[in-house]
Structure 1
Amino acid sequence: MPLDTRSHIRIARPSRDLAAAERFWVEGLGLGVVWRTGGGGEPGGHELLMVGWPDADWHLELVHEPGPVEPRPTEEDLLVIYVDGPVPDDVVARLEQHGGKRVLSPNPYWNEWGITVEDPDGYRLVLCRRGWSNS
């Protein structure tokens, strides 16, 4: 299969608490659970949660390791979703009700054009009022 515009993208990162992450991404933002697995009790096993929208060409994979892997997000670790219009107030409220925290960005561009919300692991989601196309 060639690499092209339909190649699926997985964005993977660690999570301290998959239940809290699921509340934020699923109940807050409205993504669906694509797949999950538990640690199964085996040594070195990890829990995995994949979330995304049906028919999207990407999904977010959140992994909880029983070992020393800890999330270390910075203010520039962003997942940006281009809304191409006003960011719905009810979505921001749901994100906050489900463990998110609205924050200012150190980059004034995101403060002007979007709303930044930290997820329970400290990673940042930007809902941008602008649209985007690579073409």
Structure 2
Amino acid sequence: MPSSSPDSIHTVLVVDDSAVIRDLIQTALSPKYRVLALSNAVDALAAIYHEQISILLLDVLMPEIDGLELCRTIRNLPQFHQLPIIMITAKDSLFDKVQGRLAGATEYLTKPFNACQLLQTIERLIEVNSLKN
């Protein structure tokens, strides 16, 4: 099958309470990836069980369940130990980055993000993850 078949397209799950950020990420990634954009952690947990997710992009600051708590929850589920998780957030202090890593984030990017950098990071993590499996 050609590389554009649905089976070969990686799915990126974006979880951010900002519709603007979800739209920006979707625009940056949709030519190359299937993008699922959700606004909260509860919907994201349901999605990772029902979809074949290749990578997860998480905002830290979200109402109710924040991105750090969602990241920790996902990392505690054995079937998602290898899922690449990128935190994308405006929180850019060293302390925030350490918190993201301790929660289980694979990478930590700050807003405003560079679309090219985001694409390169996703490609690298998907490639590394496919080598592990």
With the length of structure 1 as denominator, give the TM-score of the two structures: 0.32
With the length of structure 2 as denominator, give the TM-score of the two structures: 0.33
Higher Rg of the two aligned structures: 1
Q: Whose strand proportion is higher, 1 or 2?
A: 1
Q: Whose helix proportion is higher, 1 or 2?
A: 2
